[in-house]
Amino acid sequence: MEYLGEKSVSSVLLSIIRVIWIIGLVAIGILIFIILIGVFKPNWLDLVESGTFTLNALGMRITFTDPAYKQLMLPLYLRFFGWVGLPLLAMSLYVIHQLKAVLGALCRNNPFAAENAEHMRNIGVAIIAWTVYQSIAYLIVGWYIARQIQIAGMTINPAFTFDATLLFVGLVVLVLAQVFKVGIQLREDQELTI
């Protein structure tokens, strides 16, 4: 099994990443469209199933049957996708774009191209930024929801969550980027010696 070059594992991965890239672009377009509709025609939410609103989060399905909660939660849901979901999707597409460049170099049998170290570093930084942004944004959304929903006998408190695994992955990618950079320097030194 070949890992580099045309008709290799890297070329299959590049094809998959290209499809994911297109799906991501379509998803961003749909999100922007929904956000714009919500901004310019806020009453479009009345077209959604009347009387109830269901929120799926953290393995739970919460159904609000009071129409007042529907009027409260649907605009919040759109804001959540606007200022939390859209930036996270944009960061994902940035990582995918950087990954496309790395895989493209692998398909050209050039794993130690100078730009690969930079692409890997960009991926690591983006993963770390994703982790920090997601944690802060989810805390703010949780705080906002907790302040908006008042249910007798129930307390809703925001919780700070931090994805240590994703942070670890970002740090590992940064280390691998540095390894790529050293490998590139060694290769250049070797080429100059010969």
The region of weakest confidence among 127-141, 147-161, 165-179 is 147-161
Count of structural domains, the chain: 1
Question: Residue 144's pLDDT band (boundaries 50, 70, 90)?
Answer: confident
The domain of 164 spans 9-46+89-185
Identify whether 84 is part of a domain.
no
Q: Is the pLDDT higher at 117 or at 3?
A: 117
pLDDT the model gives residue 78: 67
Residue 113, in any domain of the structure: yes
Please check the confidence at residue 72 and state whether its pLDDT lies above 70: no
Residue 47: predicted pLDDT? 46
pLDDT of residue 95: 95
Tell me which of 81 and 190 has the higher pLDDT.
190
> How would residue 8 be classed by pLDDT, with cut points 50, 70 and 90?
confident
Mean predicted lDDT score pLDDT of the chain: 82
Tell me, yes or no, whether 121 lies in a domain: yes
- How does pLDDT run across 77-117, given as a tens digit for each residue? 666 767 788 888 899 999 999 999 999 999 998 888 889 99
Residue 28 lies in a domain: yes
pLDDT value at 118 more than 70: yes
User: In DSSP terms, which residues pair with 57 in a beta bridge?
Assistant: 60
User: What does the chain come to in residues?
Assistant: 194
- What residues have CB less than 8 Å from 27, skipping those under 6 apart? 89
How large a percentage of the chain has pLDDT more than 90? 36
pTM of the model: 0.78
Beta partners for 56? Answer: 61
More confident position, 73 or 62: 62
| CA–CA distance, 143 with 160 (Å, rounded to integer) | 10
Does residue 147 lie within any of the structural domains? yes
Q: How far apart are CA 132 and CA 192, in angstroms?
A: 42
In-domain check, residue 72: no
Q: Output b/e per residue, 155-188; b: 16+ Cβ within 10 A.
A: eeeeeeeeeeebbebbeebbeebeebbeebeeee
Residue 123 placed within a domain:
yes
Residue at 81 is within a domain: no
